[in-house]
Amino acid sequence: MRRTVALLAAAAFVSAVAACTGGGETRGSQTGTPSPTVSKAPPALSAPELEMGFTEVLSQGATRGSDVFSPVPLPKGVTLIALDCVADSGSSMVDVVVETVATFSTDCKSGEVSYYAHELNLSTKREGQVSIEAPDTVRWTMSVQVSKPDGT
């Protein structure tokens, strides 16, 4: 009888061990469907708004990196240079250059659109070639706006 109880106990022990380690799975295997990786969409970048009392003389839609534009007329008075930008990661400096007139540095951050309006107050009319100096990791839009002669 003791022998039967010992054999039954041994059989029960082997069954319990087999149940814990069996099943045909190897260590580290995964079951089920993998969870999808969610990536955040980059912020939408739209053209800068036209200010009341101004006329747009140059605009550029969403662009990456640097660009140089043909000269534009810059009348006496106020000229606005609006720049909206966003960096892919981190923070990047972008330079807005109006040849022989001014240079502005702008800090573009990742994850959010940065809005800037640089103002020039010219004492005489002239032409100005606008260029944007930016790394390829920055998307931007730009608008050059001059005040209307009658201010409307």
Q: List, for residues 110-131, the tens digit of each pLDDT value.
A: 999 999 999 999 999 999 999 9
**pTM for this model (two decimals):** 0.71
Residue 9 tokens, joined: 């106990």
What are the pLDDT digits (tens) for 72-106? 999 999 999 999 999 999 999 999 999 989 999 99
| Long-range CB pairs of 95-99, under 8 A, 24+ apart, other chains included | 95/132, 95/133, 95/134, 96/130, 96/131, 96/132, 96/142, 97/130, 97/131, 97/132, 97/133, 98/74, 98/128, 98/129, 98/130, 99/71, 99/128, 99/129, 99/130, 99/131
**pLDDT beyond 50 at 1:** no
Its CATH class, for the domain covering 54-147, is: mainly beta
pLDDT band at 149 (very low <50, low <70, confident <90, very high): confident
Q: For residue 43, what pLDDT band results from cuts at 50, 70 and 90? A: confident
Q: What per-residue confidence (pLDDT) applies to 30? A: 54
Q: Are 131 and 83 in contact (CB under 8 A)?
A: no
pLDDT at 11 over 60: no
